[in-house]
Structure 1
Amino acid sequence: MYRKEFFVFEQGRPVSALIRNYERKDFPELIRIQQECFPPPFPSELWWNREQLDNHVSLFSEGALCVEVNGEIAGSMTGLLIDFHLDSPDHTWEEVTSNGYITNHNPNGNTLYVVDISISPSFRKLGLGKWLMSAMYDLVIYKGLTRLLGGGRMPGYYKYAHKMTPEEYIASLLDGQLKDPVITFLLHCGRTPIRAVANYLEDKDSCNYGTLMEWKNPFHQ
């Protein structure tokens, strides 16, 4: 089981934080955080439900992480193992995660795939998302996997879709001309783009695209 204690800084003051595996007793708090992150008109049926969370802890508890600040759960990140090969990269979020139920988790997979990362809005200035991502990198190394992988939303793309392709949008992010709330965050976390994937998820702001981004295990041969 994973447990990492550290400090984050709030207005220059160190505050104790903890990343650990989430458990069934945490489900109400995890669902509350989903509600805070995705308030109405976001469909409530798309928030985590107890069956999904139960699958996370029963099928792959190592990939079910939460972060606490002063003892209060402030966010979570979930992953599953898949067997991924670069010669057939296209997929949808629903396909690769079994719609969040991770029933396709492959214990012998070569890749840790990010199902979700959520940080409560009141804790978003503490760098918790980057800490959770780092914890998942620890898991990649510990299990000897090839990579961490996930599809990032492109919520800024709709502003430019009339004049550039998704590939051109990603290139503009990489050369510093543009910033994207999600993709730029993932770049700060050490993730690198592989390609844009059409119809990755139903998301008007991203024009239904996702950017497939990986972090390669530096110890993997």
Structure 2
Amino acid sequence: MFRKELYVAEPKGKPVRAVIRTYTENDFDALIDVQKGSFPPPFPSELWWNREQLHNHVTRFPEGALCVEIDGRVVASMTGLRVQLDPAHTAHTWADVTDEGYIRNHDPQGDTLYIVDICVLPEFRKLGLGKWMMLSMYEVVVHLGVRRLLGGGRMSGYHRHADAMSAEEYLEKVVSGDLHDPVISFLLRCGRVPVAVVPNYLEDEESRHYAALMEWKNPFLQEES
């Protein structure tokens, strides 16, 4: 079981005590509420977590099931699974690699911790909880001795530039700081490094269905030659 306590705060705000911990079956209703609040309509309600998915998370890979609790309330969550991926072959979809969030394809021997989902209730987003959860998942990577954390980041600002540049060019400009993307810029601040641009990753008009595959390598493991 993962558990740590820390203080978080808005810029120049009052520190607030938070707990990052493994979520359990007792949290299912609260986790679904976090999904509803994080992804309100017109986001399709059928894409919110359901109890079967959450059951799989806590039974198949509890190490990858984290939530944030403030004042006894679950306000954020992050979920992952272990997979075996060939770094030379990056083409895949979110649905395929995560089993549409059911993680029945979780591989206990997989060398990659793959991020399924991260969400924070809007009223708590200025506290930096997303970054703290990401850093906590890095700790899980080190604890388990897997090679890396990996996941696809929505290129949510790409639709504004799609007529003028390719998805690869857009990502380069975000990395260089010439453009800002709400998701990709956040992942960069968390220490994630782009690996490739993946087409048809997720049904997402803002990203034109592209994602930036981004990783964090376990610093205690050397790359194979």
TM more than 0.5: yes
Q: Secondary structure at the match of 1:196?
A: strand
Q: Which moved more, 1:6-15 or 1:199-208?
A: 6-15
Q: CA deviation at 1:174?
A: 1.2
Q: How does 1:108-187 map to 2 (within 5 A)?
A: 108-187=109-188
Q: How does 1:28-177 map to 2 (within 5 A)?
A: 28-177=29-178
Q: Secondary structure at the match of 1:182?
A: helix
- The whole-number CA distance in structure 1 between the counterparts of 2:88 and 2:8 is 40
- The whole-number CA distance in structure 1 between the counterparts of 2:87 and 2:154 is 20
Q: CA RMSD in A?
A: 0.7
Q: Secondary structure at the match of 1:5?
A: strand
Q: CA deviation at 1:70?
A: 2.0
Contact 1:192 1:214 in 2 (8 A): yes
Identical columns (%):
58
Q: CA deviation at 1:85?
A: 1.7
Contact 1:112 1:147 in 2 (8 A): yes
- The whole-number CA distance in structure 2 between the counterparts of 1:49 and 1:188 is 30
- The whole-number CA distance in structure 2 between the counterparts of 1:174 and 1:118 is 23
- The whole-number CA distance in structure 2 between the counterparts of 1:14 and 1:157 is 35
Q: CA deviation at 1:12?
A: 2.5
Structure 1: gaps (5+ residues)? none
Deviation per CA, 1:41-92, whole angstroms, max 9, x where unpaired? Answer: 1111010000000000010011000001122111000000001121111100
Deviation per CA, 1:97-145, whole angstroms, max 9, x where unpaired? Answer: 0000000000000000000000000100000000000010000001111
- Residue in 2 that maps onto 1:8: 8
- The whole-number CA distance in structure 2 between the counterparts of 1:93 and 1:54 is 19
Deviation per CA, 1:172-205, whole angstroms, max 9, x where unpaired? Answer: 0111110000000000000010010000000000
- The whole-number CA distance in structure 2 between the counterparts of 1:86 and 1:25 is 37
Contact 1:19 1:132 in 2 (8 A): yes
- The whole-number CA distance in structure 2 between the counterparts of 1:179 and 1:146 is 29
Partner amino acid, structure 2, of 1:111: T
Structure 2: gaps (5+ residues)? none
How many residues matched? 221
- The whole-number CA distance in structure 2 between the counterparts of 1:68 and 1:194 is 32
Q: Using structure 1 for the length normalisation, give the TM-score.
A: 0.98
Contact 1:17 1:71 in 2 (8 A): no
- The whole-number CA distance in structure 2 between the counterparts of 1:176 and 1:116 is 25
Q: Using structure 2 for the length normalisation, give the TM-score.
A: 0.97
Q: CA deviation at 1:28?
A: 0.6
